[in-house]
Amino acid sequence: MKLNYLLLDVFTRERLKGNPLAVVLKADGLLDDQMQAIAAEFNLSETVFVLKPQAEHHTARVRIFTPAVELPFAGHPTVGAAVAMGLQHRTSAVRLEEEVGLITCVIETDGKRGGFARFALPALPHKVDAPPSSAAMAAALGLTTADIGCGTYAPAVYSAGVIFYLVPVRDATALRAVKPNTAGWSEVFPLGHHSVYVFTETPDEPDNQLAARMFAPGMGLGEDPATGAAAAALIGLLAEHAPDGQQELVLRQGTEMGRPSQIAIQLRKDGGKLVHGGIGGHAVVVGEGLLDLSD
């Protein structure tokens, strides 16, 4: 079996920045364990497998794997796969079947090798549980309890398909200072894949309003350069503090890793209730190749 694949950098316009993604095309012949093994072989934060859709009028079914687990939803694979298919099919919209549900992506291509994709969240974020104590979280993140909290934001646990512990910190200096202590990590953050999204407001940065870092040892990852599913969960907490109406925000991630990324966040509240959340970003093709799985 031989399969074509693309490599893209996602949530960036620049090659060798953002979050790398492998997109394996026409992957219907693969078994589950083969997909997981291929994702481990690529060893990127996620690998997407493009399959024939279950509904004829949809563009594709996609499955998303980290090196260790399959995910029902993830933002950077959705954006990257949408841009890849938009370029291949020369279309401005694709409908992707993911485990979390159907996702419609609107795409603006930029030449033959890149573009911007935006999608509405298939499931709005919801609060999952109470967060751990600030002392426990600070110890796990290598911070002090005084570092936990940012403005009116307090820690929370949200999911828009994948559970994340959302930990606000006082400023960008505290964000840079995070040094995870993985001993006892899963006891402090027991839910889901033990994934933590540390974020702060950035009033002094002209290109973005928020900054974040994501740590997910339970997904087979250390730090992730850009995490759309975490930004989607964060929309739930942002909405708690937002007025009615629509907001457009930009969040940076990956700067501390040397992989700067920008995630476009959209939310709309009506009558005090979150009614829409959206994620968007750029992606650019950096390579392509052939997987040779033949005997």
For residues 173-183, average pLDDT: 96
pLDDT band at 220 (very low <50, low <70, confident <90, very high): confident
Q: In the predicted model, is pLDDT for residue 218 greater than 90?
A: no
Do 80 and 190 belong to one domain?
no
pLDDT at 221 over 90: no
46 counts as catalytic? yes
Q: How far apart are CA 134 and CA 90, in angstroms?
A: 49
Question: Same domain for 34 and 45?
Answer: yes
Same domain, 58 and 23: yes
Give pLDDT, residue 185: 96
Residue 205, pLDDT > 90, answer yes
Q: What is the pLDDT of residues 234-255, one digit of tens each?
A: 999 999 999 999 999 999 999 9
55, 149: one domain: no
- Are both 144 and 273 inside the same structural domain? yes
One domain for residues 132 and 267: yes
- Per-residue pLDDT, averaged over 156-176, amounts to 98
Pair (6, 112) in one structural domain = yes
CATH code of the domain in which 115 resides: 3.10.310.10
Q: For residue range 108-146, list pLDDT tens digits in order.
A: 999 899 999 999 999 999 999 999 999 999 999 999 999
Residues 25 and 135 in one domain: no
pLDDT, mean over the chain: 97
| Residue 143, pLDDT score | 98
Number of domains in the chain: 2
pLDDT at residue 258 is higher than 90: yes
Q: 191 lies in which domain range? A: 126-280
144-154, pLDDT tens digit by residue? 999 999 999 99
Looking at residue 272, what is its pLDDT? 97
Q: Considering 46, 97, 201, 223, which one is annotated as catalytic?
A: 46
pTM here is 0.97
Residue 85: partners with Cβ closer than 8 Å, 6 or more residues away? 50, 59, 60, 91, 94
User: Same domain, yes or no, for 97 and 136?
Assistant: no
Asked whether residue 6 falls in the same domain as residue 113, the answer is: yes
23 and 111 co-located in one domain: yes
Q: Are residues 26 and 171 in the same domain?
A: no
What percentage of the chain has pLDDT greater than the value 70?
Answer: 100
Whether pLDDT at 295 is above 90:
no
Q: What is the mean pLDDT of residues 250-267?
A: 98
